[in-house]
Amino acid sequence: MPKAISYTKGSIIYFAGDIDERVFILQKGTVIATTNDIETKLPVTEQIKNGEFFGVKSAVGHFPREETVTALQEAVCITMTIQEFEALFSTNKQIMMKMLRVFSNQLRQIHRKTESILSKGETISQMQGMFSVATAFFNDERWRTCLDVCTTFLKLYPTSEHVLEIKGMLAKADAHIKKGDLGTTASSDSTSIGTAAPLKLFELPAFKRFAKTYEPGQVIITEYQNGDSFYLIQSGSVQLTKCANGTNKNLDILKPGELFGEMAILDNSPRSATCFAVGPVECLEFNKENFEVLVTGNPQIALMLLRLFCKRIYDQKRRLRILVISDPQARLADVFCMFNEMGPVVAERQRKFNLTPQDLAHWSGLSPEVTKDEINRFVMTRKIEAYDTYIVVNNMADMKRIVDTKTNTRT
């Protein structure tokens, strides 16, 4: 049962870094949450209002607390377990939709900060962004995917200055496809980060009218396009990519039972990634109008979305911490640290990562040339062994030491 706990003035409800799976609601009093800004490293304080939840992301996502929460005046908080919180969340439609929108907006803000760093502060229009996406798929020789993005571009921007280039790429992609060459396939190493929804519910006849099928390489969602639909995968796999600095970064491969495209529905913003079929794919397509009805009518989907947002926010903040590091060697070292954190806990100092120099350039936001130079420096000092398709870090403690001594980003 949820419990009411009283806190005296100056009490710490929890510290940043704590492992604590309780969720709190402020019943009365004055409580503040303090974090360090990822970019400036300066403390940021936010007052929690009466009736507001706090501690949700770390509890639901099973992550360490990101903030220190302090009672400025005497306060009373309702505490509950994850199970108690999820039961409340699942039965209160108002709380459900408000929290999903808040988390969606938080994730979008992190995306914008990340994009700003990668683009060095330059503002990119939706048209220019989509042109970059099409060019990146063309350069990657993903012909079917390139053709779809080019077709969408011409429909949306028929008078753009890039029309001739787009038509040229489209013609070349079409020629390859007619020869039976769909182009480069998606990465098979990617692992899904989502949480699958129970599919039996969606096998009912009432859902058949939402069914869509896609061919290998066919685009379902184009980055930078305005969105009014979201999708649930019934069969097959869907690749997510994001364009940064003119190249497409593989973000994830989603499996049956997983949702995608929900962010554009919740915060009325352009698509943040391109999603295309890896092989034959069957999806259920839901529009903006029936999103709320579907989610509030099926609490398990709402809970899946909540968990997904918690993980995505945590993962994106982790990547942002890498991008704000100024020292290139420390950036690459922190990429290794990040992938080490993502894997199972092991006692061995030596770790093997299925990362290529191109992958390291993507994750670190460094140019391929700088990345290659830094890899060579690591190899010469025997900190890593670099191969075509993987890299061996000889001592993870060395990587952590480089990050700790050359930056102030780790707390």
| Confidence at 121, pLDDT banded by 50, 70, 90 | low
**Tens digits of per-residue pLDDT, 359-368?**
898 888 888 8
Q: In which residue are the tokens 């995968």 written? A: 233
Mean pLDDT of 165-177: 96
In the three-class reduction of DSSP (H, G, I as helix; E, B as strand; rest coil), residue 6 is classed as strand
| Mean pLDDT rounded to a whole number for the chain | 88
Query: Cα–Cα distance between 339 and 130 in angstroms, integer?
Result: 30
**Tens digits of per-residue pLDDT, 22-64?**
999 999 999 999 999 998 889 999 999 999 999 999 999 999 9
Mean pLDDT of 309-324: 90
- CA distances for 303 relative to 225, 240, 285, 311, 375, angstroms: 27, 22, 19, 12, 42
Phi, psi of 124 (to 5 degrees): -115, 135
Q: In which residue are the tokens 């683009």 written? A: 119
**Tens digits of per-residue pLDDT, 391-405?**
999 999 999 999 998
Q: What is the pLDDT of residue 156?
A: 96
**Tens digits of per-residue pLDDT, 53-85?**
999 999 999 999 999 999 999 999 999 999 999
If one compares 172 and 408, the residue with the highest pLDDT of the two is 172
pLDDT at 296 exceeding the cut of 70: yes
pLDDT at 184 exceeding the cut of 80: no
Query: Cα–Cα distance between 188 and 259 in angstroms, integer?
Result: 20
Q: What is the pLDDT of residue 268?
A: 79
| Confidence at 198, pLDDT banded by 50, 70, 90 | low
Question: What does DSSP assign to residue 206?
Answer: G
> What percent of the chain is modeled with pLDDT above 90?
61
Mean pLDDT of 212-227: 94
| Confidence at 200, pLDDT banded by 50, 70, 90 | low
Q: What is the pLDDT of residue 193?
A: 43
> Going by C-beta distance under 8 Å and a sequence separation of 6 or more, which residues neighbour residue 161?
none
Query: Cα–Cα distance between 9 and 71 in angstroms, integer?
Result: 6
Mean pLDDT of 85-97: 92
Question: pTM for the full model?
Answer: 0.80
Q: What is the pLDDT of residue 163?
A: 97
